[in-house]
Structure 1
Amino acid sequence: MRLVFAGTPEVAVPSLDALAGSHHELVAVITRPDAPAGRGRKLVASPVAQRAEELGLPVLKPGHPRDPDFQAALRDLRPDCCAVVAYGALLPQSALDIPVHGWVNLHFSALPAWRGAAPVQHALWAGDEVTGATTFRIVKELDAGPTFGVMTERIRPADTAGDLLARLAEGGAGLLVATVDGIEDGSLEARPQQAEGVSLAPKITVDDARVVWDEPAVGVDRRIRACTPGPGAWSTHEGERIKIGPVTVCPDRDGLAPGVLDVTKNAVYVGTGTVPVRLGEVKAFGKKQMGAADWARGVRLETGARFA
């Protein structure tokens, strides 16, 4: 089939590579426009755009997929199907109607669970034991289209959102190719999603990522891992924001009041609503990321200090 691929972040690159290496004819790539990045805030092409250029593929960067010029260019490409992974813009019906077999999305959850922008983060935060990836035909309602296939992935105890998403991106790339193969030969038929079990996964904000030390240790742990690497869990010490990496729950250690720090030679512990947690790496504003004990020595932190 003639394919057009739509995607933007690094997590979409494995699917782009898989489709480019398949027997299908990948004729173009759609991605979001170049965006400011780094200290200089220079415009930088998306990871998908950069990889597409390496592969020698034409790249379309519409300001919005409703743009008439973009839709005309897409029609001229005559795609049989458009494959989508984390493109980042809502598709109007006029664009959805262009490819013969519609737009097939790879979504990083086992639908109908966790529809929305942050399915991996919400699965971790909720303490799910298993998640997955699903291919489905895009319809106007968010992530509600009929599904083609699903893969499952067990969530490991120390997984961050970045860890889990990387595995789903690799496994999901094979699922996406298999889905396109099945659409081509007629062996796959999209089936409506179940009405039961729907849950929503809205984007996680910086405010959401603030650690609530009154929560049980397991909740603190889940929030931090769900927000790693982005937007990054954080707390404040003496009014300064500190980014906090994954922690270790310490059920055998004496309790501390929520947010209170216990500083030893080689470790920093923080009280929660239940048992303490041991800090891993932290990052103060304008500083490099470092181990919590090194940070504590640098700022001369003592036991009894507090995170707010």
Structure 2
Amino acid sequence: MRIVFAGTPDFAATALQALLATHHELIAVYTQPDRPAGRGRKPTPSPVKQVALDAGLPVFQPDTLKTADAQQTLAGLAADVMVVAAYGLILPKAVLDLPRHGCLNIHASLLPRWRGAAPIQRAIAAGDTETGITIMQMDEGLDTGAMLLKKATPIQADDTGGRLHDRLARLGGEAIVEALTRLEQGRLAGEPQRHEEACYAHKLTKDEGHIDWHQPAEVIERQIRAFDPWPGTYTELDGQRLRLHQAHVVPGTGTPGTVLRRERDGIDVACGEDALRITRLQLPGARAQSVNDLINGGKPLLLPGQELR
């Protein structure tokens, strides 16, 4: 089949690489315009654009697909199907209707759970035990289209947002290849979503990384894992922002935010329920380090009785 691919970040680049390994014909790639990045703030191609250029594929980077010119260009490609993964632009109905088989989306959740921008992190933070990939027939709604294929994966107790992202990216590549095979064979059937069961995965913000020590330790531990590597989680001590990278739940009681214990195996902080043992953290202007290294450095931080906010 003649495929147009639309995507932008690493998650989408993994799917594009999977499609390049098939017998299908990738005729064009759509991705967002280059954005400033790095210390020099130079315009930088997206991960998808880089994969496309390495493969010698034509790349289109319109600011919108709502104009007649953009739609005419896409129509001229005469695609059988458009595969979309974390593209970042709205596809109007005119675009959805252009390919012969419409537009298929690779979504990183088991729909209808976690529609929206941040399904991977929201699933971990909510304590879900399972997530996965849904290949969906796109319609005008937000992740509301018919479900064509699902692949599930368990959420492990030590999964971070980054680790689960990478696993789902690989699973997404496998799923879209299988879905296209079924589509070729005429056996890719859609299942309507139960809209009443849907929940929304709001876009992540940096402010969400601030830890509320009145929450149960279990909730905070999931927050730390879910928001690693971005936006990260942090707390404040005497006006300094400390980033937390690894922690686990331990027994303990006290005023929420109070340091209960400081030993080489971790720093215990009282929470609204139980306590959190911090094992890896990052001081301002420094790299992430273990609590053992922090103690070896001789800094009198996070001592019993000190309060985190």
State TM-score, norm by structure 2: 0.94
Distance (Å, rounded) in 1 between the aligned partners of 2:45 and 2:284: 27
Q: Is the 8 A contact 1:268 1:293 kept in 2?
A: no
- Separation in structure 2 between the aligned mates of residue 298 and residue 64 of structure 1, nearest angstrom: 54
Q: Which moved more, 1:33-42 or 1:60-69?
A: 60-69
2:206 aligns to what?
206
AA in 1 matched with 2:203: K
Separation (CA, whole Å) in 2 of partners of 1:289 and 1:70: 45
Determine if contact 2:245/2:288 at 8 Å carries over to the other structure. Answer: no
Which residue in 1 is equivalent to 2:258?
Answer: 260
1:210 to 1:76, Cα distance in 2 relative to 1, 3 A: same
The within-5 A match list for 1:66-145 is 66-145=66-145
Alignment of 1:156-235 (within 5 A): 156-235=156-235
> Matches of 1:120 and 1:6 in 2, distance apart?
20
Task: From the superposition, tell whether residues 41 and 298 of structure 1 become closer, same or farther in structure 2 (CA, over 3 Å).
Answer: farther
Deviates more, 1:268-277 or 1:77-86: 268-277
- Matching residue of 1:43: 43
Whole-angstrom CA distance in 2 between matches of 1:281 and 1:88: 33
Structure 2 distance, partners of 1:205, 1:293, is 31
What does the per-residue CA deviation read over 1:33-70, in whole Å, with 9 as the maximum and x for residues that have no partner? 11111222221111111111111111111112224333
Contact 2:246-2:281 within 8 A present in 1 as well: no
| Whole-Å separation in 2 of the counterparts to 1:265 and 1:170 | 37
1:298 shift after superposition: 5.3
Aligned to 2:243: 243
Q: Which amino acid aligns with 1:223?
A: Q
1:205 is matched by which residue type in structure 2? T
Change (3 A) 1:42 1:292: farther
Kindly state the Cα deviation for residue 250 of structure 1 after the two structures are TM-superposed.
1.5
More strand by share: 2
Residue 99 of structure 1 deviates from its aligned partner by 1.0
What is the CA–CA distance in structure 1 between the aligned matches of 2:278 and 2:98, rounded to whole Å? 51
Letter in 1 for 2:277: R
Going from structure 1 to structure 2, the CA distance change for 1:25 and 1:298 (only over 3 Å counts) comes to: farther
Is the alpha carbon distance of 1:92 and 1:295 closer, same or farther for their aligned partners in structure 2, counting shifts above 3 Å?
Answer: farther
Which residue is equivalent to 1:305? Answer: 306
Residues 39 and 285 of structure 1, relative CA distance in 2, 3 Å threshold? farther
- Distance across 2 between alignment mates of 1:268 and 1:234: 15
Say whether 1:4 aligns with 2:4: yes
Identity of aligned residues (%): 39
Report the Cα offset of residue 147 of structure 1: 1.1
DSSP 3-state at the match of 2:207? coil
- C-alpha RMSD of the superposition: 1.6
Whole-angstrom distance in 2 between the partners of 1:286 and 1:68: 49
**Normalising to structure 1: TM-score of the pair?**
0.94
Distance in 2 of aligned mates of 1:284 and 1:43:
30
Whether contact under 8 Å (2:116, 2:202) holds in the other structure is yes
Distance 1:284 1:39, change over 3 A: farther
Report the Cα distance in structure 2 between the residues aligned to 1:78 and 1:257, rounded to whole angstroms: 64
* Partner Cα separation in structure 2 for residue 238 and residue 70 of structure 1: 53
Q: Where does residue 24 of structure 2 map in the other structure?
A: 24
Q: Cα deviation per residue 1:4-52 (whole Å; 9 max; x = unaligned)?
A: 1111111112210111111110111111111111222221111111111
Q: Could you say what secondary structure the match of 2:225 adopts?
A: helix
- Structure 2: segments with no counterpart, 5+ residues: none
| CA distance in structure 2 between the partners assigned to 1:229 and 1:60 by the alignment | 30
Q: Please give the per-residue CA displacement for 1:186-233, whole angstroms capped at 9, x wherever unaligned.
A: 111222112342111111211122111111110111111111111111
**Structure 2 match to 1:284:** 283
Partner-residue secondary structure (3-state), 2:28:
strand
Cα shift at 1:266: 4.6
Contact 2:257–2:307 at 8 Å: present in 1 too? yes
Following TM superposition, where does structure 1 have runs of at least 4 consecutive aligned residues deviating by more than 6 angstroms? none
Distance 1:148 1:284, change over 3 A: same
Deviates more, 1:107-116 or 1:178-187: 178-187
